[in-house]
Homo-oligomer: A and B are copies of this chain.
């Protein structure tokens, strides 16, 4: 079996952008090529494009050939789009790695993004209603994420004593981590007082407990090891393994609101494939769409025991210098969350951490993990990268 390496990554400026979807994709592609001056668009034989809301927010589908054309890429082995809502970007990376491992392609760019702020500002919220099971959940008020995640938070607080202050600490940490991330949506620290007194979205979730709506795109390039050696002058980063699990879609079939069984399955499958344990992870980017999400992810990724997530953030275990620094570039809470790009941004931050050239560096990081979730905690995607294969 061929080994797969990640050899470049870059993103455009994220935030509220006066630009079209195709502008964002072009800027991200350009930034990716700027990260690696050896590789050119002619080296790329595969393109995977990720976007969740392109049909409705940009009225443009068949996006893969369009993006290929605008980046001057002429893929001869694969040119397609993938979608798994909030986990779209990491899904693209899984597909690209499999295509390379299997010999179907040698050098694949994965690029994802969204233009969510439209002149019709209601478009993104309206479209989000299509993401839940609209026959069964949207009618219950679970069409948009905040009510569902507020229910998760309430339940976690009741079962395990997690506090609103602990939720706030996640956003304080991630805002601090994002301070020097020049491409992220926010570069402002917040204090506990500001977070606790912010307006409610759906109680107990307040403004800073929720990631924002974001325009943005990001790109990453994967290659077979034998090609990668000649296509980069930076340290090689290996794709070690991944998994993506789903046990339910509609809320009525969810096994548990506070233990995300599909995440536990995906994590275990990914750890097995990468031949590592949770204790081996040096740095992680997890899906902090809401502060409560990151707390549950500490638990279900195996960084701590069930119910200890609140304590994990409070004790600084997920901060620099702690057990496993999480969301070192600011995560969704500070960088923003253009669905198709998020998993790719996470991958970029992990490869920088493993190469040793991150903006905020975790010293000596050798193994990194990314996690995305989509829907009502329905599908979970876990990817593991390493500086070595063993």
Q: In the bound complex, do residue B102 and residue A1 qualify as a contact, i.e. CB atoms below 8 Å apart?
A: yes
Q: Taking the complex as formed, is A384 at the interface, i.e. its CB lies under 8 A from any CB of chain B?
A: no
Q: In the bound complex, do residue A65 and residue B379 qualify as a contact, i.e. CB atoms below 8 Å apart?
A: yes
Q: Taking the complex as formed, is A301 at the interface, i.e. its CB lies under 8 A from any CB of chain B?
A: no
- Determine how many copies of this chain the complex contains: 2
The digit string for A72-113, where 1 denotes a CB below 8 A from any CB of B, is 001111111111110100010011011101111000000000
Q: In the bound complex, do residue A69 and residue B250 qualify as a contact, i.e. CB atoms below 8 Å apart?
A: yes
Q: In the bound complex, do residue B62 and residue A375 qualify as a contact, i.e. CB atoms below 8 Å apart?
A: yes
CB contacts (< 8 Å) of A101 on chain B: these are 98, 101-104
Cβ 8 A contact of A65, one of B62, B74, B103, B246: B246
Q: Taking the complex as formed, is A142 at the interface, i.e. its CB lies under 8 A from any CB of chain B?
A: no
Q: Taking the complex as formed, is A130 at the interface, i.e. its CB lies under 8 A from any CB of chain B?
A: yes
Q: Taking the complex as formed, is A61 at the interface, i.e. its CB lies under 8 A from any CB of chain B?
A: yes
Q: Taking the complex as formed, is A34 at the interface, i.e. its CB lies under 8 A from any CB of chain B?
A: no
Q: In the bound complex, do residue B62 and residue A273 qualify as a contact, i.e. CB atoms below 8 Å apart?
A: no
Q: Which residues from 290 to 310 on chain A have a C-beta closer than 8 Å to any C-beta of chain B?
A: none
Q: In the bound complex, do residue B95 and residue A95 qualify as a contact, i.e. CB atoms below 8 Å apart?
A: yes
How many angstroms between the C-alpha atoms of A285 and B250 in the bound complex? 37
Q: Taking the complex as formed, is A56 at the interface, i.e. its CB lies under 8 A from any CB of chain B?
A: yes
How many angstroms between the C-alpha atoms of A266 and B46 in the bound complex? 12
Interface segment, A114-122, A161-169, A237-245? A237-245
Query: Interface majority SS on A: helix, strand, loop or mixed?
Result: mixed
CB contacts (< 8 Å) of A103 on chain B: these are 1, 101, 273
CB contacts (< 8 Å) of A127 on chain B: these are 55, 61
Q: In the bound complex, do residue A55 and residue B130 qualify as a contact, i.e. CB atoms below 8 Å apart?
A: yes
Cβ 8 A contact of A56, one of B56, B65, B83: B56
A interface size (C-beta, 8 A) = 66
How many angstroms between the C-alpha atoms of A33 and B127 in the bound complex? 33
Q: In the bound complex, do residue B95 and residue A62 qualify as a contact, i.e. CB atoms below 8 Å apart?
A: no
Q: Taking the complex as formed, is A230 at the interface, i.e. its CB lies under 8 A from any CB of chain B?
A: no
Cβ 8 A contact of A134, one of B60, B69, B82, B248: B60
CB contacts (< 8 Å) of A64 on chain B: these are 84, 246, 379
Q: In the bound complex, do residue B80 and residue A84 qualify as a contact, i.e. CB atoms below 8 Å apart?
A: yes
Q: In the bound complex, do residue B104 and residue A245 qualify as a contact, i.e. CB atoms below 8 Å apart?
A: no
Q: In the bound complex, do residue A97 and residue B91 qualify as a contact, i.e. CB atoms below 8 Å apart?
A: no
Chain B residue, CB-CB nearest to A242? B104
CB contacts (< 8 Å) of A69 on chain B: these are 246, 248-250, 253
How many angstroms between the C-alpha atoms of A249 and B59 in the bound complex? 16
Q: Which residues from 115 to 169 on chain A have a C-beta closer than 8 Å to any C-beta of chain B?
A: 127, 129-135
Q: In the bound complex, do residue A61 and residue B245 qualify as a contact, i.e. CB atoms below 8 Å apart?
A: no
Q: Can you sample 9 A-B contacts with CB below 8 Å? A: A62-B374, A62-B378, A65-B248, A66-B249, A76-B265, A79-B245, A79-B379, A80-B83, A94-B104
A-B complex: 8 closest residue pairs judged by Cβ atoms: A101-B102, A79-B246, A65-B249, A98-B98, A98-B102, A69-B249, A65-B378, A65-B246
